[in-house]
Amino acid sequence: MDLKLKPFDFAQAAARAGLRTDGQPLAVRGAAGGFKAAMSEALQSVSRAQHDASALQRELQLDNPGVSLEQTMVAMQKAQLGFQATLQVRNRLVQAYTEIMNMQV
Q: Does residue 52 lie within any of the structural domains?
A: yes
What pairs with residue 19 in β-bridges? 25
* Total count of domains within the chain: 1
Q: How confident is the model at residue 61 (pLDDT cuts 50, 70, 90)?
A: very high
Instruction: Give the residue among 88, 15, 85, 11 at the shortest CA–CA distance from 50.
Output: 85
Higher pLDDT, 23 or 41: 41
Q: Does residue 1 lie within any of the structural domains?
A: no
For 8, 21, 24, 60, 91, the CA distances from 13, given in Å and listed in that order, are 8, 9, 13, 32, 24
For the chain, the 3-state helix, strand and coil shares in percent, each to the nearest 5, are 70, 0, 30
pTM for the model:
0.62
> What range does the domain containing 70 cover?
30-101
**Model confidence at 79: pLDDT above 70:** yes
**Model confidence at 91: pLDDT above 80:** yes
Across 39-52, average pLDDT: 92
Q: How confident is the model at residue 77 (pLDDT cuts 50, 70, 90)?
A: very high
Q: Does residue 6 lie within any of the structural domains?
A: no
What is the percent of the chain with per-residue pLDDT over 90, rounded to a whole number?
Answer: 53
Asked if 79 contacts 49 with a C-beta cutoff of 8 angstroms, the reply is: yes
Q: Does residue 25 lie within any of the structural domains?
A: no
Q: Does residue 38 lie within any of the structural domains?
A: yes
Q: Does residue 11 lie within any of the structural domains?
A: no
Q: Does residue 15 lie within any of the structural domains?
A: no
